[in-house]
Structures are given as structure tokens and as C-alpha cells.
Structure 1
Amino acid sequence: MPQDPVDMVDDLIKMGLYKDSQLRAADRVNAHELRKALFLKQVGRGDPQREKLILALCKQAGGLENAFAAAFGPQAGLFFADSIRNSGTTRREFLRNMAVGAALVTLASCGGNGDPATQDAADAPIDPSALEKTDIQVGFIPITCATPIIMSDPLGFYERYGFNATTVRMPSWGAVRDSAIAGELDAYHMLAPMPIAMTLGLGSPTFGVRLASIQNINGQAITIAERHRGNVNGPEDFRGFIIGVPFPYSMHNLLIRYYLATGGLNPDTDVQIRPVPPPDSIAQLIAGDIDAMLMPDPFNQRAVFEEAGFIYMLTKDLWNGHPCCAFTASDNWIEANPNSFRALNKAILEAAGYARDPGNRAEIAAAISGRAYLNQPQEVVEAVLTGNFEDGLGNTQSVPDRIDFDPHPWQSFAKWISSQLLRWDLQGDGRVSEVITSDTFNSIGEEIFLTDLARELAEELGQNPPAENSREEQLAFDTFDPSDPAAYVQSQIDTFGV
């Protein structure tokens, strides 16, 4: 009888005791799914003996990450094939990892029915008994920024966490704000500045909203009407334009103001910035009601598709990694449904992690393009999500991070947004300077952006969120130091005159 476990595994394979289907299971379960199965279903149940066994198995594979990468990663099939073809040492490593993989899959599937080769461990249902509410409604605007919220319906993320969820398409951001205040739905897709504005009473009655996670980074563009082709080469050439943005308290409004000011334009006097619901933006561009727009996708790409305009600049070129939209819920709902909020946030974080993988983008585009969600041509949505697109100027672009899905709600995001709300005083009545001061930048972010909770939930999912809450943000024309937002605002005014 062989004493070396690897030799034993080799013999068991030769004897046919390890079935091909069992060996293939490790190929089919990817690292993300395995982490979910192990830590949510097994370790999360507080069984120290099971945790000890799992850690011992992973140690045999050379560490947790090695076990995941070698046995269950997206390239596992190639790894196994190469291992079989290569030397005895590599084969032994392969057999060791395969043994570990088979054991881990078996553990992850323990307690269920069926062959682990046919049961996807990640699809094991979450016990919903602790949830205060399982029948939920989540509001969204039909844009690609809402991808994690939308895709969680057809791809089963809500169901996995015990929810019977209905996604509710909203007509405008004003409708989202008003619906949240009225308590009509359970959770919402909002623009990242909206929870700050609503909680501080800017543009609406004071109403507490928490930003649970960022839905997307990048993913917007400045699109100019076809009739202005060849006439715009810099921010100074926007003088006299009517520019559409989706909402006053939006990253779109703050970013277009940031850009125009670098060309010496005063956004309040040298141009007109007009709120336009995203679904209406193409018609207004064609009709001449607006000359340009800084809008969420897929409407920039749809403008190219309809030959109504061209993509002048992606917002990632103004600030690579900037936040745009967010997953949110009101203070009232969170207080009444703490367990449901935690589980719902976790479902969204998991969906965002899935969407972040470029290999999943085409599948997601197919799932969310239909009438119930974005109601857009699939080729338009896929162009946005994959970053392979026509810009309307005769160029085929490849920008894989045109949109991305990093859910970490950095405190530096909250501080930059607050600094720009202060800079532009969108209400014009002095209210902003009363509630956003040098002393309140930190408290605003800490109260509204749930950074610590997002990190905790991401770690439970096996994701790798940043350990930090804040970071220096590099924009196209300056660098934002989150330690002194007030000084940043003053430096902008001193440099650009507005």
C-alpha cells in the first residue's frame, strides 16, 4: 500500500475510483464560486473542525491561493492538461492539487444531493430564515451603470440570497429620489452624489440614505452632436453649448464642470447645463435641444449607433476609476431590515465581482439588453461592456476598462464629491457651505459611505477589497488629496479662475 498520498491518489485513479466526472468538477468550479461555497456555506456556519480540515487541505496544495488557482481557476483545464503531458514532478503536483480539489468540492457540496460533478456548489441556496423581508423591489435607471443590480435578477444572484426580487425601471433620477423619500421601494440604484445630497438636504428635503457599494467606475462619456463634428477640440470650444446631464447631483454634472473650468469657462454662465433623463438624451441630441451631453452608457454608444453624435471623450480620461452609480437604501429601511440589507448588499457585491471579469461581459450583455431591463440593441450594450466600440469618428476603439465594476466605496470618493458640491454651490442659496465645511468632510463620508461594511462583506465572499478607506485620487488636471478637501477646492479656483 503506498504511503505517499500522491502515490495513493495515482493508484486510485488507475483503479477507476476517482471518476472522470469528479476530476472535471474542479475544472468547472471557478475560484470565485469555490470561495462562496466554502466560506459562506461551510466556514460561515462556525464549524471549527471543518475549517481546520479545509485549511489543512489548502496547505497541502501550497496555500489557499495556490489551491484555488491551480485546482479551480478559470484556466484550470489548461493547467491539468499541461500537467498530464509534462514531467513526473509536475504530474505529482497535478495529482496533489486534484486530490485537494476533489476533496474541497466534496466538502463544499456536503449535505446536498447529487454528484459533485453535476452540482454547482455556488448555487447552493442561502438560508433565508433570518431575513426580515424576502419579497423586495429594487429601483433602477436603464443604463449600464446599473449592471450589478439588473443582472442579479436574470442571473440568479437575488434568488441565491433568498430574495424574491423585482427590479423596477424608473423614468428619471428625480423619480428615484422622490420614490425613496416616499418609501415606495426597498433599495435603489442612485448616482453616487445623491445619498450625500439627500442626507444633507441639498435639492430635496433632508432624508437619510446610505451608499452600500459602488455600482460602477468609469462608464460615461462626453458625446457631441454630429452637426458639431470638427468644431470641438478642447473645453473652450463648448462655449455657448447646451449640455445635457442626467441630474444636477450627479458625477456627470460635476465632471463636465470640472472639464469646462479647465478651459476657462464658467459652467454657470458660459454654457447651459440642463438635466435630461438618459432615455430622452438621443432624441434631444437629434432635435437640436442639446449640443452635447455627458451621459451614462449605453446612450453615448446608442448616439453613435443612430448616427446622432460622436464620442468626444470617455470620462475615464478625465478621472480613471471615478465612481458613477451606487447601490443604496434608506436609513429607515436598513434599520427595519438589517439582515435583509446585509444579504442584499452581499448579492450586489457578488454580482459586481462577476461583472468585473471581462470574460463574463458578453453573457451579461445578453442577459440585460432585453425589454425588461435596458431595452437596447445587444450589440450596443456589448460594445460598452467589452470596450470594443465604434466612436462615431470612423475609429474602432478597444478600451477594456471603458466601464468597470469595482464596488469599494472609497471615502476619498465621498470627499471629492463633497468638495465639488461646495465648489459649485448647485443650490445657489448658501446651504452647501453651511453643511459642507472643513470640519464635516470626514463625518459626511463616514456617515453615508459604508466602506467598512462593504469590505467586511467582500471578504466574506472571498474577494480582495482594499484594506484602506481612502486614497489619493489622480485626475486629468490635478491630484485630489483627501486629507484637505477645502484646500483642493481653493487650489482649483486659484488655478482655473472658477
Structure 2
Amino acid sequence: MSVFSNLSRRKFLVTAGASAAGAVLLKGCTSPSPTASSNSPSAAAPSPVAAGDAPETTKAVLGYIPILEAAPLVVAKEKGFFAKYGMADVEVVKQANWAGARDNVVIGTQGGGIDGGQWQMPMPHLISEGVITNGNKVPMAVLMQLNTQGNGIAIAGMHQGKQLGLKINDPEYIKGFQAANGRRFKAAHTFPNVNQDFWIRYWFAAGGVDPDKDIELLAVPSAETVQGMRNGTMDAFSTGDPWPYRIINEKIGFMSALTAEIWPYHPEEYLAMRADWVEANPKATKAIIKAIMEAQQWCDKPENREELATLVAQRQYFNAPKPVVLSPLKGTYEMGDGKATISDVNKSPLYWKDPNGNSISYPYKSHDLWFLTESMRWGFHKNALTDFDAAKKLVDRVNREDLWREAAKEAGFTADIPKETSRGVETFFDGVKFDPENPQAYLDSLKIKAA
């Protein structure tokens, strides 16, 4: 039996308290979305929307960050899947950074922001609780997982030959870096207390390095981090595709590990929307989910990966050279520092199902609980995450896997609906296990932690 209770759903009434000046400023974080490709065969396909079951609105504004986690949003727009399900006016809008996306969802579309979009986890939970929004609680609804994998730990070139691989063979090299070099070993991620922060923390801690005591760990924009790696002031970076390709190709550094090695088929980034929008537009919400489901299935077909790279590389989306996105989509990673090249599509970003037959798209509640448990491990958000009961209740409030199930049934994807809200026991590269039925045992097993 699942650890998660079946809490009754409540209606959310939320107002966004933002000034007009703030709205104008935040609109600068976005760029207009292109229309679906006119030559897309999906765009001309007949709509499966039954008479009398049309979405309450055809419009929604979804934010994204130009990394491969966002590919299903781009594909749903470009291939006409949003239009197919009656959501012809969905905008897919680039965000300048994660802080901009957070601020834009707080003000909502009425203030010139967004209705939802792509998120690192557990940002939707933290926004719901007002933890990262200055106490302004904006209830969110987690609707689906967008992808798995597609991240890694990059190391500056000056550290070649220091045995910084999946396993840190000489943790004393990092711990003693200040004594030998006059500054602490410096590592970065793109936003605090979420996915990329957790990946690099887990890697350091598994290697015997305390990320809170032995190094300097901070949030830095990707471009600044890479420049720091070039000039010798930044040592490590938790990053998503296509940055690993650029770091190797431009001889900035090497990859110590991929997150596909740290935790195969791990939960990565998610689609979440304002709960008030979801409650007001349940049919439109499911239409969006169905469209992205089809996009995820399209993305995972090997014969489509070349076209996928072409679509996302466009100027209005990632504005990147096609090889930069095609290489990781094919599962080809030059690791550098004498490491063997990885050539395995199962280590690439995946979007619909993993090789074990598990759903990637479905938002398992057990994964939400891991993110909140990891938050507790590092002492984050003590007022909001007082214990596991509070964490589970927060998951039940935010995670709308019920809408995913309804959408899958209506779209005919019944064979891919998980039986449980938990994926079961998860195993990491260092042998540590996370059992969602007993998260305390996971915390107790960890040697390095703040909790």
C-alpha cells in the first residue's frame, strides 16, 4: 500500500500580488513563441476532441529553459500536438533563467507572466509553500515528468589527471585544495536546493566530500560558470545538456560523471502549472498533458532524433548549433580526461519509457518524496519540511498524478499507466537505496548530511 494518502482535492483561489512595474520587468525574461510548422503532418491531423468536450480555453503560456529537458514542449508546439487536442493557442516561451520563471509564474499571465511550464524539482512544492517566493504562496500542480537523465558533473581542465570520475578516488585533493592553492574548491549549479544542486551534492558526498564544509558551492548562471572554468576560478559545474558537449568541444574541461551513471533513469524535470489555472481549466489541462505525452513518444523514437535536434536548435528555441544537441540525443558523450567515450542511447535524455518498462512521463509520488527527503538531508526549508508526514502531505497537495492517469486513459495510452504511485526502491551508484516506504532509513544510511 502506498505511503501517500488519497487526500481530497480542494479548489485553489490564488491572487498574484505584483506591481505593474514588476510585470513589465519580468516580461523582459521571455521571448515570443513561434507557430507550429506548417509542413507538420501532425498539425493537419483530425482532432480527437469529442463534441461537447472541448477545452475551456485554447490558450496557455508555458515557460521553458533552453536545455533538452524542454524538448517535449517544443515538439508539442512544432509538430501540432497542442493544436490536435484543441489547444491551438498555447505559447511556449523562453525564460531567461530559473529565477525569472519562478517570478513569472507568481504574477501569472494576468501580470504578463506564465501559467506554468518546465521546472526543476521540487520548485513547484516550494512555490506552493511560499518558500522561494518571499512567503507568497502560489499553489502549483505537478502534472507530469518531462524527461530523465541529460545532466552531468563537469570539471575544469586544470583538474585533469586527479581521478575525478564517477568515484572520487582522492577526496583529500578537493578537501586540501585551499591549503595548496589559496582558495577553496569552487562548484556551482544553476538554482539552489533543486535538481542540479542535488546531483552535485550527491556526487560529492558519495565521494567523501562534504559540500557544505569542504568546498564552496553556489548558484551561478551557466555562462558565468563556464567562463569561470575557462579562467581558472571555477572548478566544477552541475549542468544539463547541451552544456557537456560545449564544455568538452571547446576544451574547457571534462565530464566526471553523467547523472545517468549516478542514478539510472532518475526523475529530472517536470511540467507544473498554477493550481488555480488547473482547477479553472481541467479539460484544457488534460489536453496539454495529452499533447506532451504524444510529443514524448515522438521524441523517444530513434528515427526522430535527427529532426528533434533540428527543431530545438532553431534560433527561437535553443539557438544552438545542431551538433551540440544531436550528440547527447544520440547518447554520445565525449567524457575527456582519458575516459572512454560513452555511446549509449539509454544514457541520453529519455522522455516516455525507460528500458525497464517504467513510465518516464508519469509523475511518481515516490520521486517527489525523494526530492523533499533530500531537502531534509541538507537542512533546507526546515519550517516547511518539519517531518516526513508534512512532506507526504505536501506531495499529495501538489502532485496531480490523477490528471495524468485520466489524460492517458482518454488518449488511449492505457498500456502505459503505472499501477502504483511509487516506482519502488531506488538504487544509486554507491549502493545507497531509497525506499519511499521508509525514507528515514535512507537518511540514516547517509554518512554526510546536515540533518
Show the counterpart of 1:426: 380
Partner residue of 1:411?
A: 365
Give the alignment of 1:344-383 within 5 angstroms.
344-383=288-327
Are 2:329 and 1:400 aligned?
no
**Residues paired across the two proteins, number:** 374
Instruction: Confirm or deny that 1:461 pairs with 2:411.
Output: yes
CA deviation profile, 1:85-135 (whole Å, cap 9, x unmatched)? xxxxxxxxxxxxxxxxxxxxxxxxxxxxxxxxxx98992124497222213
Q: Measure, in 1, the Cα distance between the counterparts of 2:159 and 2:101.
A: 33
Q: Is the 8 A contact 2:331 2:343 kept in 1?
A: yes
Q: 1:174, 1:123 → 2: CA distance?
A: 37
AA aligned opposite 2:161: G
Aligned to 1:171: 96
1:225 aligns with 2:148: no
1:282 is displaced (CA, Å) by 2.6
Give the Cα separation in 2 of the matches to 1:216 and 1:385.
12
Distance 2:237 2:401 in 1: 31
Q: Which amino acid letter does the alignment assign opposite residue 197 of structure 1?
A: L
CA shift, 1:404, in A, is: 0.9
Tell me how far apart the structure 2 counterparts of residues 432 and 361 of structure 1 sit (CA, whole Å). 41
Q: Structure 2 residue aligned with 1:341, among 268, 282, 285?
A: 285
Distance 1:332 1:259, change over 3 A: same
Supply the distance in 2 between the matched residues of 1:126 and 1:282 (Cα, whole angstroms). 46
Q: Which moved more, 1:127-136 or 1:169-178?
A: 127-136
Query: 5+ residue gaps in structure 1?
Result: 1-118
Cα displacement (A) at 1:215:
0.7
Q: How has the CA–CA distance of structure 1 residues 329 and 433 changed in structure 2, closer, same or farther, with 3 Å as cutoff?
A: closer
- Structure 2: 5+ residue stretches without partners: 1-40, 176-183, 352-359
After TM superposition, the structure 1 stretch with the greater mean CA deviation from structure 2, 129-138 or 172-181, is 129-138
Whichever residue aligns with residue 392 of structure 2, its letter is N
Question: 3-state SS of the aligned residue for 2:388?
Answer: coil
SS at match of 2:93: strand
TM (norm. structure 1) is 0.71
Residues 288-367 of structure 1 aligned to structure 2 (within 5 Å): 288-367=232-311
1:154 pairs with 74, 78, 88, which one? 78
Structure 2: how far apart are the matches of 1:444 and 1:281? 33
Partners of 1:448 and 1:232 in 2: how far apart? Answer: 41
Superimposed CA distance per residue, residues 439-496 of structure 1 (whole angstroms, 9 cap, x where no aligned partner): 223322222222232233223333313212101111122111001212321221xx34
Give the residue type in structure 2 aligned to 1:449. N
- Tell whether 2:46 aligns with 1:124: yes
User: Is the Cα contact below 8 Å between 1:192 and 1:211 reproduced in 2?
Assistant: no
TM-score (ref. length: structure 2): 0.78
Distance 2:153 2:247 in 1: 11
SS in 2 for 1:152: helix
Residue 438 of structure 1 corresponds to: 388
Deviation at 1:376, TM superposition (A): 1.2
Partner of 2:402: helix, strand, or coil? helix
Post-superposition CA distance 1:388-408 (Å, at most 9, x none): 232234643212122111211
Residue 5 of structure 1 aligns with which residue?
Answer: none
The residue identity in structure 2 corresponding to 1:176 is: A
Bigger CA drift: 279-288 or 152-161? 279-288
Contact preservation (8 Å) 2:263, 2:428: yes
Correspondences of 1:238-253 after superposition (within 5 Å): 238-239=174-175, 240-253=184-197
Structure with greater helix share of residues = 1
For residue 244 of structure 1, report the CA deviation from its aligned partner: 1.4
**CA distance 1:467–1:148, shift in 2 (3 Å):** same
1:177-192 paired onto structure 2 within 5 Å: 177-183=102-108, 184-192=113-121
Alignment of 1:210-221 (within 5 A): 210-221=141-152
| Relative contact order, higher structure (CA 8 A, sep 6+) | 2
Preserved contact between residue 172 and residue 278 of structure 1 (Cα < 8 Å)? no
Distance 2:216 2:379 in 1: 16
Residue 472 in structure 1 maps to residue 425 in structure 2: yes
Contact 2:76 2:294 (8 Å CA) reproduced:
no
Q: Is the 8 A contact 2:43 2:81 kept in 1?
A: no
Offset at residue 305 of structure 1 (A):
1.8
The farther-off stretch of 221-230 and 122-131 is 122-131
Task: State the match for 1:209 in structure 2.
Answer: 140
Deviation at 1:230, TM superposition (A): 1.1
Partner of 1:440, secondary structure, is helix
Q: CA RMSD in A?
A: 2.2
The whole-number CA distance in structure 2 between the counterparts of 1:422 and 1:176 is: 24
1:139 to 45, 51, 63: 63
By how many angstroms is 1:386 displaced? 1.1
SS at match of 1:376: coil
1:181 CA drift (Å): 0.7
Write the letter of the residue equivalent to 1:225: A
Q: Letter of the aligned partner of 2:92 in structure 1?
A: T
Q: Report the CA distance shift for 1:121/1:260 in structure 2 as closer, same or farther (over 3 A).
A: closer
Whichever of the two has the greater Rg, that structure is 1
1:256 maps onto 2:187 in alignment: no
Contact 2:77 2:90 in 1 (8 A): yes
